[in-house]
Amino acid sequence: MALDAFNDHTMSRRAMKAELLDAETELRLAYAWRDQRDEQALHRLITAYMRLAISMASKFRRYGAPMNDLIQEASLGLMKAADKFDPDRGVRFSTYAVWWIKASIQDYVMRNWSMVRTGSTSSQKALFFNMRRVQARLEREARARGEELDGHQLREMIAHDIGVPLADVEMMEGRLSGSDFSLNATQSSDDDGREWIDALEDDGLQAEQTVETSHDAARLRDWLVTAMQGLNARERFIVAERKLKENPRTLESLGEELGLSKERVRQLEAAAFAKMRRSLETQSKEVHHFLL
């Protein structure tokens, strides 16, 4: 179901006018889609439950995502549910679809909450959507008992309540309390000041590493050239066509060209590799380090 052409108000109106499916009709449509891939049955099933998807999408508006985008994600979850639904399990489709719709919306919200990825593990997702609510409840209960919780106590109680590691709570608290900043912003109010991006460590190869890598590559290349020279013309041809070409040849095509069977070409290839390995081993003991 394409949603790009409609805004959230249009989708809501259309969803409210959709038919309400009884259990028997729902089951018949589910079987028609699963067993016969009947697209009309799928369309009826999806359309009938779009009101459920829209209702669930509206509960996530507080995270700042556009409602139409939330509806798009909810509809994707609904379609995944329809595709994976097994009517033989005796569960209503709406009950099954809720989990897929919720998961799809949550994944979208977490992907777009920050330019820096918030996280996608089950504990991170549980924290993202429940930490503030649990924290507020714990603080209310503490005040009712006349207690005052410090930050560490509160984080420990949140971790225990949600069932996640304390380290995850501390990590998520830091991410939710901060906001994104441009790395091109200057470090001072002076427009000519250094940008924050200039303070990042270069993750490229340093000069020493570049020299070492180039030297090792040249040495290994010399070893391989020498090993190739120890092969006969047919073996060099097979190795070159099988391992040194951007689009390697198949055993069948080489067999046709050389007038050999596929199995014979494979045997020649294996024999050539064995010769090359022996040659490399005699050239330097260091070769083992490069081949492992």
For the segment 259-276, what is each residue's pLDDT rounded down to a tens digit? 989 899 899 999 988 888
Last residue of a domain, one of 136, 158, 177: 177
283 assigned to some structural domain: yes
How many beta carbons lie within 10 A of that of residue 130, not counting itself? 14
Q: Which domain holds residue 158?
A: 122-177
- Please say whether the beta carbons of 222 and 271 come within 8 A: no
Residue 5 and residue 20 in contact, taking contact as beta carbons nearer than 8 Å: no
Q: Which of 128-137, 185-194, 220-229 has the lowest mean pLDDT?
A: 185-194
214 and 171 assigned to the same domain: no
The arithmetic mean of pLDDT across residues 29-48, rounded, is: 91
**Do 12 and 91 lie in a common domain?**
yes
Q: What is the mean pLDDT of the chain?
A: 77
Residue 269's contacts (CB-CB under 8 Å, 6 or more residues apart) are 238, 239, 242, 251
pLDDT band at 29 (very low <50, low <70, confident <90, very high): very high
Give yes or no: residues 273 and 231 share one domain.
yes
pLDDT grade, residue 35 (50/70/90)? Answer: very high
In a domain, residue 47? The reply is yes
Check residue 60 and give left, alpha or beta (phi > 0: left; psi -120 to 50: alpha).
alpha
Question: Has residue 96 been placed in a domain?
Answer: yes
pLDDT cut 90: percent of the chain above it: 15
Domain stops at, among 177, 195, 223: 177
pLDDT of 158 higher than 80: yes
The verdict on residue 196 lying in a domain is no
Q: Which of 90, 112, 134 is the last residue of a domain?
A: 112
Question: Using an 8 Å Cβ cutoff, are 65 and 112 in contact?
Answer: yes
Residues 141, 235: one domain?
no
- pLDDT confidence of 20, banded at 50, 70, 90? confident
Is residue 261 in a domain? yes
Residue 186 Rama label (left phi>0; alpha psi -120 to 50; beta): beta
- Residue 7, pLDDT above cutoff 70: no
Q: Count of alpha carbons within 13 Å of 38, Cβ hemisphere only? A: 13
288: pLDDT strictly greater than 50: no
